[in-house]
Structure 1
């Protein structure tokens, strides 16, 4: 590979779309190594399955309700609006840089090599922990379907020794399966993910219908502040309850991670990034509203039992277990999607010789068209993170919480420098920028600066909210007071380890081209 200039809006002309996409990629100095076979639905499924509302709302409903009461519902549309601002920025830059390792590639082209490396580093760490957190959710569901899934001991609670050990076993088996799927090729991953996403959409629809047809109160329940509303400082309780939505609505940019495996990614990725977030937000919002309307009570039982408590009351034992089987599918494809996105990010950084053992991690199997080493390494690291749960489930829960902070920091590594570039004229005159089919690229136009600014402000506020020291979030049992500082500690530790791993003294083989409107805008 040579250090050639990379015009971000180079039009693609002539030939089939796949050939045009390969030629398009070569404009950035890269050759087509990954198999390009994903269509629009597969691109959408990558983002939707990462968000996985059926998995995350199933796990986290009680968190939001316990702090904000029924009125915590309003944190959902607030977070969606903020994240949609980020998604708009991602959509615009995805159209111009359709390259694997999206966050890393976008942030370095907007902010330079150091910001780009740390953007990729934060996202990679977060995805490894997030995949582990998704895998461990099997313990919450599978023993409830059949007690035979409690292989170790007889207590399924995650806080017990046997429950934690069994969670690691089930999660490890899942990670071995997802690693194998990622190794045999993107086509298999895509087929399985598409089927899983279809099942999840059917499951979400069934849940919504079941909840609304068993409503015990009207939609005005969302104005009830509940028990927290009887205490001073409800606004603070409301802000804390918003962490639930903040934890859920991430990962919608996964379509960008698979850009080099997607047909016409300049057109498809921007659309599916926005669509994955919006469909997740609508489906999740209806699930939250339906649960509040159908819950037998709005007291402690709902705060502790969450959505499973409501569904068990509404559906009964048999249909409740059928739904739990669908939740297992959602957990499976969520873990698969996160691991896939992380492997492409690791491959992209290694291809640029930005990681230790880059030669191994950047190797693509010619038969499967996938980077096998990153998938295997990520699977092993995820299992290693799972093992932490055996020693102290509170530490694992804290890790799962603070890793979301790293995702928001990674997002800021794109939107922040992107705003700076806009003030200097990026993306310039976009009238000649087209995709592989000759259609104009997605652009925010004159709204770019104000929308980008709002996305940055939102991101900063969310990082502060997520990292704020709170014993009730990070150390609810009160056993390890230091855990309430887990957010700031995590950020500092990630930066220090990142500094140690940063490729000091190594010249980037594909140096970032300095943006000039006269050249890039054409």
Structure 2
């Protein structure tokens, strides 16, 4: 086993630590993995949970994507939510076990390189950075769906707020750009400020989710058995439509591992991160599932086409009076803010982690941490600028922007596979060794899957591979809805190939890793 194993094992008989002593123990623990404590370690358990929950952000994503799932599979698309949750929970369990043993920023990059080697680790990080930049842009553009409905004055450009219209697309970029400036500024101020904003935002989102679920269930027009209705898509070919409807859940339930990205800023991360990774996904899945059922029960109609076209806003506008509807929309706007902030934060920490190892261009500058804020400021700014550039695509062609956001989810699932795949191989070789002997900073045993580890891991790999195929499938409805650009149906495989080729060019082939690790330790 690696150096940290013996280091953590030697603490097993020590009493729990607090305050400065605990911070020193966490810093020493990080040192055993080869890194100095540069980032400020200010995050507690709830803040760690908030990072993952706000990345998933069910208010933001279900608000945007409900119509996608319903349009393909009708009410029975609900069951894809359960399937995706179970598959992603297998992945989350693997991440939880890894986060307990490697509590280092840049989680996907760090985990994949320690399980599969430097090349695989680098590409895992590369895919994840690209995906997070596009995902943050997609989250930011959601402000156009929300703010003009709160107050018409937010429609600054033109008078048509529809995202597909020229004025709506331009205004979406303007509102998204303003949001990105705000979130980038918060990131530059330090993790403490990020924590304050995210914590308050998550509390607001949780209250909003509970309130919406309550309203939907008290305005039901039909019973919960609606989830067995296949809608107009029923028939011999329904299974394919149902599989396609699963893209909605696949798009939503990602980013739950953000607690691992912030491990170097979390107190006692070996204990906290495994819990918050699982809690963020589980609570998101529970809340999202109830939102979907509630919307299906409360929708004025399931057959007039409005639910597929407008999604959740169609239902909410029908059941809420104007003042309460406005309050709800404000809550959704807060959710969009913290979702964008959480994604940017995760991306900047991943970029910092790779740069600290000299694996990116201008690594020395990217790895610099401001001593006052304890934040890698340049990565935060660079991620923000990258998001703005992606956002501009929506002005020229909103279909291409939508395609980009779909493709980036493929990259996330591939990055996850670059962790779970090599991890499964290492399990067959005996990973983790000294099971039950490793402890956290408080002397408690680390989270472990024990004997079911191989089964859980194998299910995670199988699920991930099937989902990559499902996400990449050349569906015209997803990648070329207008029918104007047939080549875009193959956007998934094409984009992955381009990212791989670009990665091969950017990979530091001539530079030795300054902190090499022995795979599997």
Question: Which TM-score bucket, shorter chain as reference?
Answer: over 0.9
Q: Displacement, 1:9? A: 6.2
Q: Displacement, 1:430? A: 1.6
Q: Displacement, 1:10? A: 3.2
Deviation string, structure 1 residues 454-507 (Cα, Å, up to 9, x no partner): 100000000000001000111111111111111001110110011111011100
Identify the residue that residue 7 of structure 2 maps to in structure 1: 10
SS of match in other structure, 1:242? helix
SS of match in other structure, 2:457? helix
Whole-angstrom CA distance in 1 between matches of 2:33 and 2:89: 28
Whole-angstrom CA distance in 1 between matches of 2:427 and 2:519: 13
1:265 aligns with 2:306: no
1:197 to 169, 194, 202: 202
TM-score, normalised with respect to structure 2: 0.97
Identify the residue that residue 405 of structure 1 maps to in structure 2: 410
1:256 aligns with 2:256: no
Identify the residue that residue 167 of structure 1 maps to in structure 2: 172
Whole-angstrom CA distance in 1 between matches of 2:202 and 2:298: 25
Whole-angstrom CA distance in 2 between matches of 1:8 and 1:476: 52
CA-atom RMSD in angstroms: 1.2
Whole-angstrom CA distance in 2 between matches of 1:414 and 1:63: 29
Deviation string, structure 1 residues 342-364 (Cα, Å, up to 9, x no partner): 00000000000000000000000
Whole-angstrom CA distance in 1 between matches of 2:201 and 2:2: 40
Deviates more, 1:135-144 or 1:158-167: 158-167
Q: Displacement, 1:260? A: 0.2
Whole-angstrom CA distance in 1 between matches of 2:93 and 2:401: 33
1:440 to 429, 440, 445: 445
Q: How does 1:135-284 map to 2 (within 5 A)?
A: 135-229=140-234, 231-284=235-288
Whole-angstrom CA distance in 1 between matches of 2:198 and 2:230: 38
Q: Displacement, 1:318? A: 2.2
SS of match in other structure, 1:100? coil
SS of match in other structure, 1:512? coil
Whole-angstrom CA distance in 2 between matches of 1:81 and 1:304: 28
Deviation string, structure 1 residues 411-436 (Cα, Å, up to 9, x no partner): 00000000000000000222220000
Q: How does 1:6-405 map to 2 (within 5 A)?
A: 6-8=3-5, 10-11=7-8, 13=11, 16-229=21-234, 231-299=235-303, 300-405=305-410
Asked if structure 2 preserves the Cα contact closer than 8 Å seen for 1:127 and 1:338, the reply is yes
Identify the residue that residue 469 of structure 2 maps to in structure 1: 464
Q: How does 1:421-440 map to 2 (within 5 A)?
A: 421-440=426-445
Whole-angstrom CA distance in 1 between matches of 2:154 and 2:275: 40
Instruction: State the aligned residue count.
Output: 512
Asked if structure 2 preserves the Cα contact closer than 8 Å seen for 1:128 and 1:339, the reply is yes
TM-score, normalised with respect to structure 1: 0.97
Q: Displacement, 1:316? A: 2.4
SS of match in other structure, 2:146? helix
Deviation string, structure 1 residues 162-185 (Cα, Å, up to 9, x no partner): 111111110010000101000011
Whole-angstrom CA distance in 1 between matches of 2:408 and 2:519: 32
Q: Structure 2 stretches of 5 or more lacking a match?
A: none
